[in-house]
């Protein structure tokens, strides 16, 4: 593996210090891309293995989130739940990072918590955005994520160059919480289209149609959708996807269920009618309960065979 010194000497100079909290499957690749872009990354995670990987990627590592934030001009987080985001920001970031730092939470959490944490940050004079991502582990490693960003214009302007170093698209969705709204609605739609695609492909095969022929037809006609065209759920058909790797990697079913639970909670709170999403959520809950937590969400096609 390349050493931190070798990586540092091969990239463009950039004096900006960025604290990165949460170095899991997504955060690890994102932090590495900030290093490649020339930023000085101050990394923290509870996992020693993740810290070692971050150090190998050129990050400086710290024993606590508070220490990582101490001299940061920006803080980026990628954390697994609303409760953890709230705890990290209220205990370790707000009041410990310099007040001039921009705070960027890339976690997928509920809208209410995103707004609550941002309100606490704003009360202390910080700029903050919620910036959940779309694209999965490969996009995080490759720097091709899409960021959906909620926050005031001045906060977005401060966060945009940092996010651009980790993604292919950075879209300002609106005020704080708008990024989370976009993310959960997008993934709700993704769940519906993946189930619909799985049903159609399996039905076509059972009716005697070659699945590849169905893909060639539907992917160029009114059945066109991302789940079919860019993430084909049937192995050996269409584009290469987790289906061709026994549904390993990609977007775990546990994460899809997490997002669908957030979507169902938000729909109830908003009084929004989501019958298709409700059914999709129930199907994914069943699939999760059958021991498929780490299986890519497209693996749900196997329940139709």
Tokens for 136, please give them: 């999965």
Least trusted range by pLDDT, from 1-10, 162-171, 188-197, 240-249: 1-10
Cβ pair 96, 115 in contact under 8 A: no
pLDDT band at 12 (very low <50, low <70, confident <90, very high): very low
Radius of gyration in angstroms for the set of CA atoms belonging to the chain, rounded to a whole number: 20
Q: Write out the two tokens for 272.
A: 């929004």
Residues belonging to the active site: 183
Give CA 25 to chain center in angstroms.
10
What's the CA gap between 196 and 129, in Å, rounded?
A: 34
* CA–CA distance, 15 with 219 (Å, rounded to integer): 47
Q: What is the pLDDT of residue 250?
A: 85
pLDDT of residue 96: 97
Residues 39/14, Cβ–Cβ less than 8 Å: yes
Model's pTM, two decimal places? 0.89
* pLDDT for 10: 38
Q: Which ranges of 108-210 would DSSP assign to H, the alpha helix?
A: 111-123, 136-142, 153-164, 178-206
Q: Residue 153: its pLDDT value, please?
A: 97
């Amino acid at each position: 593996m390349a050493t931190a010194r070798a990586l540092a000497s091969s990239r463009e100079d950039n004096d900006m210090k960025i604290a990165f909290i949460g170095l899991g499957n997504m955060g690890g690749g994102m932090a590495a891309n900030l290093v490649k872009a020339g930023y000085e990354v101050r990394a923290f995670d509870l996992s020693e293995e993740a810290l070692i990987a971050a150090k190998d990627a050129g990050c400086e590592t710290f024993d606590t989130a508070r220490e990582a934030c101490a001299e940061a001009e920006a803080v980026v987080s990628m954390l697994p739940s609303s409760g953890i985001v709230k705890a990290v920001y209220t205990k370790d970031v707000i009041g410990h990072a310099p007040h001039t730092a921009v705070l960027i939470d890339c976690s997928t959490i509920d809208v209410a918590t995103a707004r609550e944490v941002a309100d606490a940050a704003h009360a202390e004079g910080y700029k903050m955005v919620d910036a959940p991502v779309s694209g999965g582990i490969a996009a995080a490693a490759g720097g091709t994520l899409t960021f959906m960003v909620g926050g005031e214009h001045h906060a977005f302007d401060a966060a945009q160059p940092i996010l651009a170093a980790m993604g292919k698209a950075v879209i300002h969705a609106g005020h704080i919480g708008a990024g989370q709204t976009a993310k959960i609605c997008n993934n709700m739609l993704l769940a519906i289209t993946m189930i619909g695609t799985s049903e159609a492909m399996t039905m076509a095969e059972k009716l005697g149609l070659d699945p590849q022929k169905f893909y060639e037809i539907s992917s160029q006609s009114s059945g066109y959708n991302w789940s079919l065209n860019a993430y084909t759920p049937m192995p050996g058909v269409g584009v290469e996807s987790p289906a061709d790797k026994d549904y390993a990697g990609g977007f775990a079913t546990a994460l899809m269920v997490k997002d669908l639970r957030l979507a169902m909670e938000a729909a109830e709170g908003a009084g929004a009618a989501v019958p298709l999403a409700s059914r999709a959520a129930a199907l994914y809950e069943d699939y999760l309960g059958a021991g498929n937590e780490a299986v890519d969400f497209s693996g749900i096609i196997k329940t139709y065979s």
